[in-house]
Structure 1
C-alpha cells in the first residue's frame, strides 16, 4: 500500500486571545495540487461519505480534542491515515466527491461540497435494477469476520507492546544521559589515579543517540503502520456492526410482520370474516412481500460489499510481516551498535588498568 499519495502538513493559526483553530495543508500526488482544510471540513466529508457509501469500510476520524500542542501532531497523523485509506479505496475514491474535497480552492468549498453531494443516492439506491445480487455464503462471511476480530485484538495488543517498548527506550536514553553528566562532573584524576571516565562518557552518549533514534523509528514509522492497520480493522468491525444492526435487523422485522399478517389472514378465513377484511389482509401480504423482496436484495448487496471490504482489509494486512521484520531489524541494529559502544569502553578501561 502506498503511503505517500497524501501528505498533510499542520498550519496552526490563532484567532484572538482565546479561540483558535488549526488548518491542514493537504498535498496529493494524484491531483498534483494543494488545498487548505480545517477539521470540520473533514467532518463534513466523512458524513457525506457515510451517507453515500454506508456499506463500505470508512475509518474513524481522530477525535476533536482540545487545541493543545501535544494533540495536534497526533490528530494530523490520524487525518493523514484517514485520507490515505479513503484515497486508496477502489470505491470511495472513484467518485467526484473526494476529488472536489482535494482540489476545490474556492472560499466556499464546503458549501459547494454539501450542495452538490448531500442529496446523492446511496450506493445501493443508485444500483441498476438489472444488477444480479446472489446471496453470499453467510457461513463464509461469519468466519471471515471472526478472523478479522482476532486480528483486530492482536494488532491492538501489538500496538500497546510497541508503545511500551518505545517508552522504555526513551527512559533508558534519559538515564544514560544523566549518568554521563554525573561522570562529567567527577574529578577522576584525584580519586582514581590515571584512570578517567572519558571513554565511558563517550559510550554512554553514543548509546543515548542510538537509543533515541531507535525509539523515534518505533514511534514514527513502525507504530504508525500499526495504527494504519488498526484503523482498517476498526473500520471493518464498524461496517459489520452497521450491517447487522441495519439491514439484517430490518429483514428479520419484515419477516416477523409477514408471519403476523399470514396468521391473521388464516384466522379470518377459518372464522368466516367479511370478504373485504380478508382482501385487505391479502393486500397487506402482497405489499409486505414487496418489502421483503427489497430488503432481501439490499441484504444481498450489503453482504457482497462486506465480502469485498474483507478482501480489501486482508490486502492491508499483508504489510504486517514487513512491519514486524522492520521491528526485528531495528532491534538488531540497536543491539549491535550498543554492544560495539560498550566493547570500546571495556577495551579502553582494560588498557588503562594494565598501564
Structure 2
C-alpha cells in the first residue's frame, strides 16, 4: 500500500502510461457484428487486439481482486444487428479508452500482472483470483499507520461528502457544455440545409432577367459557403477525446470513487457488527479490525486519486470554453459571410 499522506498529482498519473484504444476498421460477424479494438500502451510499447468481452474479463478480475479500490464500470454492451451506429461505437471506444487509462495510471492497479497480460499478450486468459488484495498482499498483520482508526473514519466521511459535491458540480457543468455543443451542431446542420435550399434556388432559368441572374449568383455564392461549412464541421476536434476529455476522465474517476464509498459504507457496517459479535480478542475479530483499517486507508488513497483528476478537469475548463467559443465564433462568422454574399 502506498503512503496515504503523499499527494497524488495528475502529472504523476499521466506519466505512468498513455493508453490508446482505436476501432479496428473492419467489424466481424455475419449478422450480429462485433467490434475489435487496437489497444496500445506507451509504457509497455505494445499494441494488441482486444474485444469488448476481454475488457469485461479484466474488469471482473479487478472488482474481485481490489474491492477497496475505485474501479470504474465499463460502458454497457449493446448488441445491434449490423454492428451499431458510428456515433455509438465511437462513444463506447472513447469510454473504453478512459476506463483503461484510469486503470493503467492507477498507483496500485498499474502494477497488476493481469493488466500487463491484457496490454502485452496477444491472447489474454484471465481468471478471477481466489483472494482479494487484502489477503494477497499479506496485510493481515498490523502495520504502522500515520492516522488512527477514528481519524481515518473521519477523513473517509469528509472526503466522501466533498468529492460528492465536486462530482455534482462537474456533472452540471458538463451537461451545460453538452447542450451548448448540441446547439452549435444543430446550427451547423441548419446552415448545411440552408445551403441546399439556396443551391436549389440558384439554378438559372432562360427567362431570368439581369436582376434575377444577379440574385441567383449571390445565392450560389452563399450556398457554396454553407456547403464549405458542412465539410469543415467534419474536421472538428473530437469533443470527448479533446477539450472535454479531462472532464469526462474526472467524472469517471469520481463515479468510481462514489461507488467505492457505497461499497465500503455497507461493508464497514457489516464488519463492525461482526467484530462486535465476536470475542474481542479472538483471531476473527482482530482480522476484521485489520481489514476495516485497510479498507479505510485504501479509501483515503483513492480519494487522492479522484482529487487529482478533479483538479485537472477544473484547470482544463478554460480550454473547453475556448473550444466551444471558437466553434460558435466560426458559426457566427459564417452567418456574417452569408449575409454579405446575399447582399451582392
TM-score range relative to shorter protein: 0.7 to 0.9
- Secondary structure, aligned partner of 2:242: helix
Contact 2:134 2:294 in 1 (8 A): no
- Match of residue 328, structure 1, among 321, 328, 341: 321
What is the CA-CA distance between 1:28 and the residue it aligns to?
A: 1.1
- The reply on whether 1:311 has 2:328 as its aligned counterpart is no
Q: Which residue of 1 aligns with 2:44?
A: 31
- Aligned counterparts of 2:272 and 2:156: Cα–Cα separation in 1: 18
Q: 1:349 to 1:166 in 2, by over 3 A?
A: closer
Q: 1:161 to 1:290 in 2, by over 3 A?
A: same
- Aligned counterparts of 1:168 and 1:211: Cα–Cα separation in 2: 14
- Secondary structure, aligned partner of 2:111: coil
- Aligned counterparts of 1:168 and 1:339: Cα–Cα separation in 2: 13
- Aligned counterparts of 1:126 and 1:105: Cα–Cα separation in 2: 28
Contact 1:159 1:226 in 2 (8 A): yes
- Match of residue 252, structure 1, among 273, 279, 284: 273
Per the normalisation by structure 2, the TM-score is 0.80
What is the CA-CA distance between 1:212 and the residue it aligns to?
A: 5.8
Q: 1:219 to 1:52 in 2, by over 3 A?
A: closer
Q: 1:164 to 1:213 in 2, by over 3 A?
A: farther
- Match of residue 59, structure 2, among 46, 49, 53: 46
- Aligned counterparts of 1:126 and 1:21: Cα–Cα separation in 2: 38
Larger helix percent: 1
- Aligned counterparts of 2:295 and 2:40: Cα–Cα separation in 1: 33
Unaligned stretches of 5+ residues in structure 2 = 1-9
What is the CA-CA distance between 1:130 and the residue it aligns to?
A: 4.6
Q: 1:206 to 1:335 in 2, by over 3 A?
A: farther
Q: 1:211 to 1:41 in 2, by over 3 A?
A: closer
- Aligned counterparts of 1:146 and 1:186: Cα–Cα separation in 2: 60
Select the structure of larger CA radius of gyration: 1
- Aligned counterparts of 2:240 and 2:120: Cα–Cα separation in 1: 31
Q: Deviations over 1:282-312 (max 9, x none)?
A: xxx366x443332222111111111111011
Q: Which residue of 1 aligns with 2:69?
A: 56
The structure 1 segments of at least 4 consecutive aligned residues displaced by more than 6 Å after TM superposition are none
Contact 2:244 2:320 in 1 (8 A): no
What is the CA-CA distance between 1:243 and the residue it aligns to?
A: 0.8
- The reply on whether 1:201 has 2:223 as its aligned counterpart is yes
- Secondary structure, aligned partner of 2:36: strand
Q: Which has the higher contact order (CA 8 A, sep 6+)?
A: 2
Q: 1:333 to 1:294 in 2, by over 3 A?
A: same
What is the CA-CA distance between 1:234 and the residue it aligns to?
A: 0.8
- Match of residue 248, structure 2, among 189, 205, 227: 227
After superposing the two structures, state which structure 1 stretch, 85-94 or 67-76, moved more.
67-76
Contact 2:66 2:132 in 1 (8 A): no
Contact 1:211 1:334 in 2 (8 A): no
Contact 1:10 1:76 in 2 (8 A): yes
Q: Which residue of 1 aligns with 2:133?
A: 122
Contact 2:32 2:79 in 1 (8 A): no
Q: Which residue of 2 aligns with 1:181?
A: 196
- Aligned counterparts of 1:217 and 1:77: Cα–Cα separation in 2: 10
What is the CA-CA distance between 1:60 and the residue it aligns to?
A: 0.7
What is the CA-CA distance between 1:198 and the residue it aligns to?
A: 4.1
Q: Which residue of 2 aligns with 1:166?
A: 181
How many pairs does the alignment contain?
315
- Aligned counterparts of 2:340 and 2:38: Cα–Cα separation in 1: 52
Contact 2:67 2:132 in 1 (8 A): no
- The reply on whether 1:96 has 2:113 as its aligned counterpart is yes
Q: 1:104 to 1:194 in 2, by over 3 A?
A: closer
Contact 2:198 2:219 in 1 (8 A): yes
- Secondary structure, aligned partner of 1:36: strand
Q: Deviations over 1:24-59 (max 9, x none)?
A: 221111111222222222222112212221111101
Q: Which residue of 2 aligns with 1:276?
A: none
